[in-house]
Structure 1
Amino acid sequence: MKPQKPHCGQARAITSPATAVACEQRVHRRSDTSSPPFKRERRQHRGTQAYNNMSAGKRAVLVCVDIQNDFCDDPEGALAVRGSRALAPVWNELLAMPFALKVATRDCHPADHVSFASQHPGKQSFQDTITVKNPENEQDTPFTSTLWPNHCIRGTPGCEIISELDMSKVQHIIEKGQDKRFECYSAFGPPYRNPKLGDDQMIRLLQSEGITDVFVVGLAYEACVFHTAKDAAEYGFRTYLIEDAAAFANKSDDNISSIRKTLQDAGVSLIGLQSKEVWEIKSAAS
C-alpha cells in the first residue's frame, strides 16, 4: 500500500534573533565542466566571509536533496510527497542565505534500475522490498529497499529539478542512483562500506571546500534526506536537518518517531527555521 503522504502547512518565516533563541530547537558543475575538479573560482555571496569569520572557522554547506518533479505534487510526480512543492519558498529563502557552498542532489536512474518494481515480475510498488548485496563483496552488509514505481529516469521531465527552485544560487549538482545494480539514497554514495562503492564526489567536494557544517533539506525526509544527513554525521561533519524544509512521505507517528530517533542517535541535530543555527547564517548577510 502506498504510504500516507503529508500535507505541509504554510512555511514559517524566519524572524528575529530573540524569536530564534526562544524557538531553538555527479558533481554536475554549473561552471565550465572542462575545468579541473574543484579548481574553479568559487562564487562568493554577500556575507559569506563575514559568516566564516564570525563562526571561528566554520564553513557551512546547504544540501538541497532531490527537489525534483517526480518527488513533488501539484502536478503529481511519479513518487510525489504531498505538499512538497509548497516548500519552494522556504528552500529559496535558505538558498538566498550566505552559506559558503550550496549543493543540489538529483536522483538520476536508468530505466532498468533495480529499485523499480517494473524490473521484478510479480512484485508491487510500495508493498514489496528487495535486498541487494554489495556487488564487489557479498559478505558486506546487504541493503534492503522498498520497490518503487519508475521515477527520476534520466532524460525525462520527472528527473529535472523543479522550476520553482532558484538554481542560480546553486554551485554544484550531485547526481546519484545512476548504477542500475543498487540503490543510492545518500548524496555521499551507496550504502556499502566494504568496499565503499562510487567515486566519493560529495565528500571530495566538501573536503576541498573546507566545509565543517552540513545543513540538509529536501525530499523525502525518511529516505534520501535521512541517509544524506546520517552519512554526513558519519563522516564527521557537524550535521543539521532543517525539519521545516523537509517533508515526510509516510507521516505515521511511528515512522516519524523512529526516523528522528535514529538521526539523533547518529549525531544529527534536528533544527527548525527559527533555530539559532539558521539565524546565525542569515544574520551574517546583514
Structure 2
Amino acid sequence: MKAALLVVDIQEDFCPPNGTLAIQEGRSIAPTVNSLLAHPGFTIRVATQDYHPENHISFASNHPPPNNRPFESKVPVHNPAPGKENETKLQDLWPVHCVGGTKGADIIPEIDQSNIDLYVKKGMNPEVDMYSAFADVFGNVDPTIIGQSVNVDLRSFLANNGITTVFVTGLAGDYCVKHTAIGAAKAAFTSYVVEDATRCVAPGSGWEEAKQELRAAGVSLVRSDGPEISGLAM
C-alpha cells in the first residue's frame, strides 16, 4: 500500500476571521494537518486550492437580482462535455471567494507547506464548478473536458506514483472534502476522510448528511491518531 495525503482548500477565504466564505473553526485544524504532513508514511502530499476567475458562475454577484442571494439562490449550469450541453444542474451561489491570484486564494500560513509535492488548482472554468479535485460537478473526469477547470489530472498523477490509498483532510467537510473523497473512491483508490482534520459549512446537519454520503460511496471515516494512519509503512 502506498498512501497519499490530500489537503483540501485550507485557504484564507475559507478561514476566519477575514475569509469571505469563512468556515467555523477552519483555522483550528492546522496543527492536526501539519502533523499528518510530517508523517513519514505518506508517499505523496497534495494541496488543493479553489482558484476561480472573477466571472465564475458560482459567485452570486455575477447574477442579476433577485436570484443572486449568497447561500440561498441557485442557477442552472450546463454540462461542458461535448454532446451533453443540454444536461443541467442547479448551482449554489456563494460570496466571491478564492479568486486566483488574490490573498483569499492563498493557503493559510499556519499550514506547513514544506512537504507538499503537488498543488492542484481547481474551479478555473468560469462556466462550471468543481468541488472534487478529481471531477467537475457533472462528474466529468476526462482531462480533455475538465482541463479548463483544473491544472492537474490528479487521478493519473497518483496512479503514476503507485498510490493505492488516499487520506483526505481540509475544508469543507460537507463540500470539497466530501466530493474529493468520493471522487477518489470512484477513481478506484481506497479512500478515507480524516474526521478530526476537517470542518464544515454546516457543522451539525451538514456533516451528518455528508458522512452518510461518504459511507454509501465506500469512503471510511478515520481519526488522525487512528490505526489506519499510525500503521502506514514508514
Tell me the TM-score normalised to structure 1 length. 0.75
Q: Write the letter of the residue equivalent to 1:60.
A: A
Partner of 2:73: 128
User: 1-side partners of 2:105 and 2:140: how far apart?
Assistant: 30
User: 2-side partners of 1:171 and 1:194: how far apart?
Assistant: 25
Once superposed, what is the RMSD of the aligned Cα atoms?
A: 1.6
Runs of 4+ in structure 1 over 6 Å off? none
User: 1-side partners of 2:221 and 2:90: how far apart?
Assistant: 25
Contact persistence 1:64–1:218 (CA under 8 A): yes
Partner of 1:210: 162
Correspondence list, 1:1-286, <5 A: 58-73=1-16, 75-98=17-40, 99-122=42-65, 123-135=68-80, 136-138=82-84, 142-193=88-139, 196=142, 197-199=145-147, 201-253=153-205, 255-281=206-232, 284-285=233-234
Question: Structure 2 unaligned runs (5+)?
Answer: none
Higher normalized contact order (CA 8 Å, seq sep 6+, divided by chain length): 1
Q: 1:262 to 1:140 in 2, by over 3 A?
A: farther
Q: 1:194 to 1:147 in 2, by over 3 A?
A: closer
Q: 1:179 to 1:194 in 2, by over 3 A?
A: closer
Structure whose CA Rg is larger: 1
User: 2-side partners of 1:191 and 1:280: how far apart?
Assistant: 34
Q: 1:158 to 1:133 in 2, by over 3 A?
A: same
Q: Write the letter of the residue equivalent to 1:153.
A: V
Q: Write the letter of the residue equivalent to 2:192.
A: Y
User: 1-side partners of 2:44 and 2:76: how far apart?
Assistant: 35
How much has 1:195 moved relative to structure 2? 7.7
Q: 1:140 to 1:258 in 2, by over 3 A?
A: farther
Question: Structure 1 unaligned runs (5+)?
Answer: 1-57
How much has 1:137 moved relative to structure 2? 3.3
State the aligned residue count.
224
Contact persistence 2:185–2:219 (CA under 8 A): yes
- Secondary structure in 2 matching 1:125: coil
Contact persistence 1:140–1:194 (CA under 8 A): no
Tell me the TM-score normalised to structure 2 length. 0.91
Q: Which moved more, 1:60-69 or 1:127-136?
A: 127-136
